[in-house]
Each structure stands twice: as C-alpha cells, then as structure tokens.
Chain A
Amino acid sequence: MAPTLSVLEYHLAGYRRTWRASALSSFVLPLLTMLGFGVGVGAYVTGGVDGVPYLDWMVPGLIASTAVQVAMGDSSWPVLGNFAWMKIYYGQAAAPLRVSDILDGHLAFVVFRTVSSCGAFLVIATAFGTMHSWWALATLPVAALLGLAVAAPTFAYSATITSDSYLAILFRVGMIPMSLFSGVFFPVESLPSPLRWIAYVLPLWHGVDLSRAATLGVPPAWSVTGHVLYLAAWAAAGWLLAYRQFVRRLVV
C-alpha cells in the first residue's frame, strides 16, 4: 500500500503545479454543454423527459460523461508520455517499486482527477437546482467506478501504442460515439435496437443510468448490482491487460 501511495503522491506533486488549468478545462466543457443543451434544447423539450425538466434529466448524464472524458484524457497522453517521452515509469521501475505499484499509483491519481472534476460539476449543477435527492452524492462513487472502468483499459491501450496518432483514433471511434449513444442527451430507448447495444456494451451508459437514478431519486433501469458488477468487470479486465502491458514494457 505505501509504495502505491508514494506513486500517487508523486502524481499529486505534479498536479499541484498544473491543477488550475486542468481543473478549468475539465468542467468548463460540461458546464457549457449543460447551458447550451440543457437550457437551449430544454426550451424545446417542453414536456421534459420521464416527468422531469430536460436540464435536470440531462445533468446526471453529463456528470457521468465528464467522468469518462477526464478518465480517458488522463489515461492516454500521460501514460504514453511516461513510456515514450519523459520515461517516468522507467525511473520508477529502478526504485524499489513493483510494476503493480507504478500502475496502481497512477490509476489512483486518475480516479482522484475524475472524482474531483465530477465533484466540482456536481456543486455547480446543484446551484442550478437540478438535484432532486440527497442520493445525488452517490454520483461521486459512481464516477470513481466508471472512471476506473474506462481508465484501466485506456492504460492498456496507451501502453501498447508507440505513437500518439493512435490516441486520436481512440477518441474518435471510442469516446465520441460512446458519449452520443449512451443516454446522456436522450434516452437509449429512442435508439434502434442494434445501436442500443452500443450503449449496453460500453461502460458509460451504466454510469449514466446509476447517476440519473441518484440525482433524480428514482430506481435505475437496470439493477444497481448489475451495473456495479458490469463496470467492475471492465475495470478488472482493463487492469489485467494494462498490467500485462506494463510488465512487457518495464521488465525486459
């Protein structure tokens, strides 16, 4: 545990120098989306969705979507850079750390970034009066789990590629479709059946459904246990792939 924490501490030391810029960009985008879509589109969706105003319905989806964006962003270029450019991981491997300490410490930092970005967003969204229940606080552990479910496989991907042009592919064919088809902006039931499966298979919709149930204080479409186990499976499989790839790169 202590070795993993020392790696987290290292990442936090770097973050102390850059947090203003990164915190701003992590929730300015969702804030603009909230205002643009929620207030703008919401004016046309006069009947609301599922009996609540469109803005209130969309905000929990955006919180989950923010978790995915921060988790993926922080697991892509930084991981590639720590192998390819700054070679930070190699320096850590020369210290008495195990590969799992290096991986877990960095993952813990990404989860910290995810939860703190979602927390800031949650505060602002609350000020807009979009929270219907104290259960809204549960969006933060959901964000942590969703962040891990996305970050771990992204770590594996970023540790496999050798050029950052592959990251652009990940964001174009991975993150953008996931953000569009996961029930953030409209219910997945509006999608034709094959497209709906994109939502069911990828992690984001599971986080969206849980977050929405939390902020609106209603039961989720799926069972909570089912969502949690499914996200945990993504996290676990991603971790195993990432660990294998880290070992392959660091122990040669």
Chain B
Amino acid sequence: MSDPFTRVGHVSEEPLIHARGLVKRFGEFTAVDGIDVDVQRGEAFGFLGPNGAGKSSTMRMVGCVSPPTAGLLRILGKDPRHDGPAIRARLGVCPQLDNLDLELAVRENLTTYARFFGIPRKVARRRAEELLDFVQLAERADSKVEPLSGGMKRRLTIARALINEPEIVLLDEPTTGLDPQARHLVWERLFRLKQQGVTLVLTTHYMDEAEQLCDRLVVMDGGKIVAEGSPQALIERYSTREVVELRFHAEAQDVFADKLAGMGQRIEVLPDRILLYVADGDDAVAELQRRALHPASVLVRRSSLEDVFLHLTGRTLVD
C-alpha cells in the first residue's frame, strides 16, 4: 500500500510547467524543436533568444492557446490539449502586443476581463482598484485607454494579467518598446510580484532584463535550447569574469589585433572595437602597457549575459 502523505508530497513538488521534447511546427517550418523545460513554483524563469528563436511560440503553447505538435507538456499538472480553459483560469498572460480595448476606460478593461474568469462584479471592481494602485494607474482609472502612453498601456496589460490572481504570469517581452523610465517601473513591479511568490515566466532579448529578473533562464536559438542556468552560472560558464573593450583608430585596428595574441581566454575582433575576455581586467591593462600598446580608449567591465548571449547565438542579425 502506498503512503498517502508521500504521494501528496510528490504532487506538490511537481513543476508548474513541465515540457519534454516539446515541438511546434507551422507547416514545413519548425519553430520549437524539441525543448525540455521545468519551471518550479515561485521561480522567475526566462526564455532568452534572438528574434525567431521560438520564444513566443513556446509561450503560446504554455499559455494553452497553441496546441503542441509533438512532445509532452504539462501545466499545473494538467494537459493543455484537454484542460485548456481550466489551466488558463490560473494563468495571467501579458502578450507581446497589447490587446486592450482602446474604447473602454482603463478600469473597464480590467472589470470586463475579470468576468471572463467568472469573477463576481463586486470582487472584480475591488481587484481593479487594487491593481490600478499596484501599477500606478489609479488616477487614470476613468480615462480611455487610447491616449495612454506605451508604458501605461503595458502596465495596464500587466494589471489585467493579474486580475484572476494567477499562479503563473506569462510575460512575452514585457518591456520591448518602452522608454528607460517605463522599463524600470515595470521591472520594479515585476520584482514585487516575484517577492510575493508569483511564478514569473518571461521572454526577453534584453540581457539586463534577464539578469535583473530571472532566477534561471534558457537561451534559445533556432528553436532549440542552447544553454540553461542562472544568469551568474551562464556568465561563468560561457564567458569570463571581466571583459576589456579596446578601441583603436580604425586603420590601426588589424595591426593591433595581431599584437594581442595570447592575451585572455578569447579575443573577439569587431568592426569598431576589440573585446578581450579575461579573468582580471586590470592585469590585462597592465599587459597592454608592457606590450607598449596604446589604444584610443580602454574600458574594463564586468562580463554580462549579453556576452554569453552573443557568444551562443552569434552576432549575425536575425530579423
């Protein structure tokens, strides 16, 4: 006889999102090519990748609006193929493009959406007030959506995604197209949600966003996962602790590049600068002095997720 308590314990440890060999094809085109993902309760998990990497297709499958072509996908322990509405009732979705009703007032966008979840009108009104406070839009509650700025619309979309007190919030490029102030406000609100224990799943191609918000992330490229780990672990594994950026006068760059041989773990020559991947930036600068090299500018910086990302997915522009 199996011990009932063990089974309960086992169930509660099941990841909120569990995918094995998940595939999405559109005709001949394979958008997602057999990925394995587990997201645990309370985690902030990121899908990082260039355009066309398969991030949004993955998010749509997780959001139960796009049936997987092949593979296993379980959300909140349920099968999206059969339990779509029941799963979606417990998700909050902030899509890449806002799909707010521009004609309705800010508050009405929340209260009408709440009704789709079967939330009673009174509760919907109360939650709308709380959420508008949370995203700092309380003063605009009665204004139409149309004249709001991009950042305000985005915050309203996030508030709408929270109307059903979801267990998982899916955010597809939450800050794309926002100005720096608006981005920081969105990040700060998302960080607050994370502190409250809400599981966040987001896609982004902003490295600072991934570093700030994600406990763990996967880097996707061409529909596959090419790396997985915490931001720090990825930096340690795929980059060096520090990066020295050297700029030379344009015509002299190639000449200098040869003279840097043997410095650092890796040297990358870009059209406008040379990157030295090193453990200690100051040591590298001292070595430059010893070799009598005098670049036009020297910048020592901490290695970032961007270095990992570009290393893994390449510098070729994908549109």
Contacts and interface: CB of A to CB of B under 8 A. Distances in A.
Interface of A: 2-3, 6-7, 9-10, 13-14, 17-18, 86-88, 90-98, 250-252
Contacts of B100: 86, 91
Nearest to B102: A86
Nearest to B111: A13
Contacts of A9: 112, 115
A94 B63 contact: yes
Contacts of A13: 104, 108, 111-112
B93 interface: yes
- For B60, B84, B95, B99, which residue has the most chain A Cβ atoms within 10 angstroms? B99
B233 interface: no
B95 A94 contact: yes
B117 interface: yes
Given A90-B95, A91-B99, A250-B65, A96 B116 contact: yes
A56 B211 CA distance: 75
A96 B92 CA distance: 10
Contacts of A98: 84-85
A38 B104 CA distance: 40
A31 B102 CA distance: 32
B168 to A, nearest CB: 12
B89 A251 contact: no
B116 A7 contact: yes
Contacts of B63: 94
Interface of B: 26, 60, 63, 65-67, 84-86, 88-89, 91, 93, 95, 97, 99-104, 108, 111-113, 115-118, 160
Nearest to A3: B116
A17 B104 contact: yes
A10 B102 contact: no
Contacts, number: 71
Query: By DSSP majority rule, is chain A's interface helix, strand, loop, or mixed?
Result: helix
B101 A88 contact: yes
Contact of A97 (B67, B85, B108): B85
Contacts of A7: 116
Nearest to A7: B116
The 6 A-B pairs with the shortest beta carbon distances in the complex, nearest first, are A95-B116, A87-B99, A6-B115, A96-B89, A91-B99, A96-B85
A95 B160 CA distance: 11
B101 A93 contact: no
Given A91-B95, A96-B89, A97-B116, A252 B66 contact: yes
Given A87-B97, A91-B95, A10 B112 contact: yes
Contacts of B117: 95-96
A90 B85 contact: no
A92 B86 CA distance: 14
Residue among A6, A95, A250 with max Cβ neighbours from chain B (10 Å):
A95
Given A2-B118, A90-B95, A252-B66, A95 B104 contact: no
B66 A17 contact: no
A7 B101 CA distance: 13
B116 A86 contact: no
Given A14-B104, A97-B85, A251 B65 contact: yes
A113 to B, nearest CB: 15
Given A9-B112, A10-B115, A88-B99, A94 B104 contact: no
A93 B116 contact: no
Contacts of B115: 6, 9-10
B280 to A, nearest CB: 49
